[in-house]
Structure 1
Amino acid sequence: MLRLRRAVLCSVFTAVMAVGSLFVSDLPTTHAATNAQPKAIYKVDTDKKVVALTFDISWGNKVPEPVLDVLKKEKVTKATFFLSGPWTLHHPEIAKQIKNMGYEIGNHGNLHKDFSRYPDNWIREQVSISEKSIQQVTGVKTKLIRTPNGDFNPRVIRCLNSMGYTVIQWNTDSLDWMNPGTQNIVNRVTKRAVPGDIILMHASDSSKQIVEALPQIIDQLRKDGYQFVTVSELLANAKVSSSIVR
């Protein structure tokens, strides 16, 4: 009987510890505690009302220039664009315009495929191709990368870090590529944004409503007291809030 009770207690303890560990693994982890772990940056911890507007571009030439026109008209001088290699080569004048307007440029890969499905040598090859394409057109040697589809795992992060890249995700997703309606895009961004936020939008032709939504987003965020900075400026001036990749 004593042996049975011990076995039961041991089983209960093991179950409790397992459940506890599940909860702990899902808790937010501080940057200091995870410095050695692979991570992607979602936002930064800051009391300042600053956010980074980021735009992914992987195809099309109908939306990018109108987006740039909106930013110019609204006098937004700080934003970060993640460009794919093929798009940059196919639309060099627009890529150069982004650079000449002073916006930060990051890497969005070459083929728009999930990195986690491929080995490290494939990832290095793809990132190197897009890096060279962007540098050839704009003169920019990229240091930030947003993986296609935002897909990664610990191995992918380690591979990209070994290439000198910082992996950038987002905390607020506009879902503009789904074209849910202009007001829905505006509401998602303006109601979810927090200080230190990285906001995901697209300037690809798939995002058919971003040009109408963007002026409203900019106006409302400014009314809420926010200023716009690049991703690099966020990283340089605030404590990083990252997600450990499991």
Structure 2
Amino acid sequence: MTFFYTLHAKKTKQVLLLVSVSFFTALLLFTQNSLGIPVFSEKDSPKAIYKGEKGVALTFDIGWGDEKAAQIVQTLIRHKAKATFFLSGSWAERHPDLVKKMKEHHFEIGLLGYNYVDYTSMTKEEIKKDVLKAQEVFNKLQIEQIKLLRAPTGHFNQEALQVAEDMNLTYVHWSIDTNDWKNPGKSFILSKAKEARNGDILFMHASDSAKQTNAVLPDVIEASRSAGKLVTVSELIANGKVETKPIP
């Protein structure tokens, strides 16, 4: 026996609308996950800045190493490129002359804690103690009133964000990860930089693990400038609306 089913036109539209909404919801979640930005629904929780509105910010983390940082600083100076360096206090203690050079050439300096440790494995009190120890180092180096913080390993949680807020620091994430510390090849690093658009924060490294970064940096600078004016993170924040994401 053959059965025939007739769908009402209105019901058909409702089904199609439901399918469309489901598709775009899935696409949004996929996009957020691909950016590595977790989402948390509590609007009053502390947040991390990961994007601005006007300009492109090059950021470099330095947790250890004696070789690559000086080369990268010199390349940035040669190309008259602004950048923000997130420095661990233990590294800054061992390289005071290079930190002084960064300051003299008006590079922005942010905190990367003191020890290169994973903040997600620490209590709120332990995180605060690590940040305070880093602040002591920079005060001794006469670099005061640092306003930016990034977790040493890039991994953070609500406790880390709360510490930043309690200490009147702005927690800075990123919108584009070049993965340069994995040494994936200069062409790959450059391809990530070419994804930059106005408002993006690029994540790079100046520790010795990033062996390819300095060689490709001139091209990264050029690609970033084609997307927008190079600015520090603080300038990016001041230039207009910023995008933030809370996490659980």
> For this structure pair, what is the TM-score category when the shorter chain's length is used for normalisation?
0.7 to 0.9
Whether the aligned pair in 2 keeps the contact of 1:40 and 1:166 (CA below 8 Å) is yes
Tell me the C-alpha RMSD between the 2 structures: 2.3
Cα distance per residue 1:97-153 (max 9 Å; x no partner):
111110110000112111121111111110000111122124233210010111111
Structure 2 counterpart of 1:5: none
The letter for the 2-side match of 1:244 is P
Residues 71 and 136 of structure 1: CA distance in aligned 2, closer, same or farther (over 3 Å): same
| Structure 2 residue ranges without an equivalent (≥5) | 1-17, 33-40
Residues 138 and 176 of structure 1: CA distance in aligned 2, closer, same or farther (over 3 Å): farther
- Equivalent residue of 2:242, what SS? strand
Q: Distance in 2 between matches of 1:208 and 1:83?
A: 18
Q: Distance in 2 between matches of 1:152 and 1:40?
A: 9
TM-superposed CA distance for 1:221, in Å, is 2.6
Structure 2 counterpart of 1:124: 128
TM-superposed CA distance for 1:237, in Å, is 1.6
The letter for the 1-side match of 2:90 is P
Paired residues, what number?
A: 217
With normalisation by structure 2, the TM-score equals 0.81
| Structure 1 residue ranges without an equivalent (≥5) | 1-15
Structure 1 counterpart of 2:63: 58
Q: Distance in 2 between matches of 1:94 and 1:52?
A: 21
Q: Distance in 1 between matches of 2:143 and 2:155?
A: 27
Whether the aligned pair in 2 keeps the contact of 1:110 and 1:127 (CA below 8 Å) is yes
Q: Distance in 2 between matches of 1:204 and 1:135?
A: 22
| 1:43-192 alignment runs, 5 A limit | 43-44=51-52, 46=53, 48=54, 50-76=55-81, 78-190=82-194, 192=195
Are positions 1:41 and 2:49 aligned together? yes
With normalisation by structure 1, the TM-score equals 0.82
Q: Distance in 1 between matches of 2:244 and 2:103?
A: 28
The letter for the 1-side match of 2:44 is A
The letter for the 1-side match of 2:49 is I
Cα distance per residue 1:20-44 (max 9 Å; x no partner):
8xx599597xxxx976321111102
- Equivalent residue of 1:110, what SS? coil
Are positions 1:202 and 2:212 aligned together? no
Structure 1 counterpart of 2:232: 230
Whether the aligned pair in 2 keeps the contact of 1:85 and 1:129 (CA below 8 Å) is yes
Structure 2 counterpart of 1:3: none
Residues 42 and 225 of structure 1: CA distance in aligned 2, closer, same or farther (over 3 Å): closer
Per residue, is there more helix in 1 or in 2? 1
Q: Distance in 2 between matches of 1:124 and 1:82?
A: 17
**Identity %, equivalent residues:** 38
User: After TM superposition, what 4+ stretches of structure 1 lie above 4 angstroms from structure 2?
Assistant: 23-28
Q: Distance in 2 between matches of 1:211 and 1:37?
A: 38
